Structure 1
């Protein structure tokens, strides 16, 4: 009897560990409510490619931050965006800004990236904790989730132990050292991304304040 109870308890704990917690997830990409300029991003712990815990608040304190939220390395539109931002990395650095790009990819997946720069870091939000905090997380319909999994082999985050899965709407934030948002761009249409010229202008306006 005691052994049965212990096994049951371990199974419950295991399921809780493997499942991410759902607290702010829209029913579609069109219904997300991203944090707006003037609001402060709460501190969230993420993981780097080595699985080391990283405090977002501590990173913000270092420099003005270009915070990019993308769907994953499997998404060609996201990969193109990250590559385009990499082209203006030196210009952003001259303006005193660092780049932090975040996705639901696991630390192991991040380790496969070709981006290697102290001023351009990829972090894992594999529990979607930050995506939910930023108001970007949304549930995929079953048909889309099935297509993505079958054709792209994408591993999505399960929420609260359920099969229903979620992703973040791609977004870009410009954040000061206090974590205050000065600029935000989020588009439910994942094929449309922020241009580098607009991003540079947004960062420049923060650096001049």
Structure 2
């Protein structure tokens, strides 16, 4: 599978949620995979994006291989206690995971930032899936390394009604075994080819990202299902999230 910014990376899914086709079809939630396929088809047709040099492609490939080797099993296992955290939301208010669990299960999503097109695809499908998620008594909370002002821009632009929390000291990403530092060579590739400086989003000197991950956490704080993948294009399907909530 070809990737725009990185090569295909080995993946680790720490919960395999199997759903019959009929159950998948019954859920009135959008498909992330279908949205991704449409996005990539349109990109191929329009030939958008920079033309990377062989040297820059090699840097991306090496960075992807190094990440996969250093994090063969990202994330936390099903059955583990979810680490608590208190992080600022887009409006600067501190939000505690365990406090929110008092109101019911939480779907916890770690994503890279507003600059990431695949993160935006995921968040859009999750926004459209909120009625089904909330119908199971759960709430959606997202975590990103970006600054609250960048999250606020997302909230206003895309009308997100769920919490977007900023992990400004990387403590949550580290607690959930998702944290990694972006190699400076890759940082330079992003600058040269995409006009992207991660520090503009994360803060000075913070060239860090999470492996994208989704967790379904019950009211007792136990991880009941989830997925984490070093291939940042791969995300847990909304239908699988809803099915996991039904099983709680």
Band the TM-score falls in, shorter-chain normalisation:
0.7 to 0.9
Bigger strand share:
1
> 1:84-138 deviations in whole A, cap 9, x for unaligned?
1111110111111100011011111111122342xx2111112211000000001
Q: Which residue of the partner structure matches residue 50 of structure 1?
A: 91
1:85 aligns with 2:129: no
Select 1:152's aligned residue among 192, 196, 211: 196
Identify if the C-alpha distance between structure 1 residues 135 and 184 changes in structure 2 by more than 3 Å, giving closer, same or farther: same
Alignment of 1:14-29 (within 5 A): 28-29=67-68
Alignment of 1:60-209 (within 5 A): 60-113=101-154, 114-117=158-161, 120-150=162-192, 151-155=195-199, 165-206=207-248
Q: Which residue of the partner structure matches residue 15 of structure 1?
A: none
User: What is the aligned-residue RMSD (CA, Å)?
Assistant: 2.0
The alignment partner of 2:234 has SS state of coil
CA distance in 1, matches of 2:152, 2:231: 27
The alignment partner of 2:227 has SS state of strand
Bigger helix share:
2
Alignment length, in residue pairs? Answer: 175
Q: What's the TM-score, normalizing by structure 1?
A: 0.77
Structure 1 residues 41-50 or 98-107, which shifts more?
A: 41-50
Does structure 1 retain, via aligned residues, the 8 Å contact 2:84–2:96? yes
C-alpha deviation, 1:157, in angstroms: 5.1
Does structure 2 retain, via aligned residues, the 8 Å contact 1:174–1:202? yes
Which consecutive unaligned segments of at least 5 residues does structure 2 have? 1-65
Identify if the C-alpha distance between structure 1 residues 96 and 30 changes in structure 2 by more than 3 Å, giving closer, same or farther: farther
C-alpha deviation, 1:145, in angstroms: 1.7
Which consecutive unaligned segments of at least 5 residues does structure 1 have? 1-26
Does structure 1 retain, via aligned residues, the 8 Å contact 2:127–2:160? no
Q: What's the TM-score, normalizing by structure 2?
A: 0.65
The alignment partner of 1:191 has SS state of coil
C-alpha deviation, 1:153, in angstroms: 3.0
Identify if the C-alpha distance between structure 1 residues 185 and 30 changes in structure 2 by more than 3 Å, giving closer, same or farther: farther
Does structure 2 retain, via aligned residues, the 8 Å contact 1:127–1:157? no
Does structure 2 retain, via aligned residues, the 8 Å contact 1:173–1:185? yes
C-alpha deviation, 1:164, in angstroms: 7.4
Does structure 1 retain, via aligned residues, the 8 Å contact 2:145–2:208? no
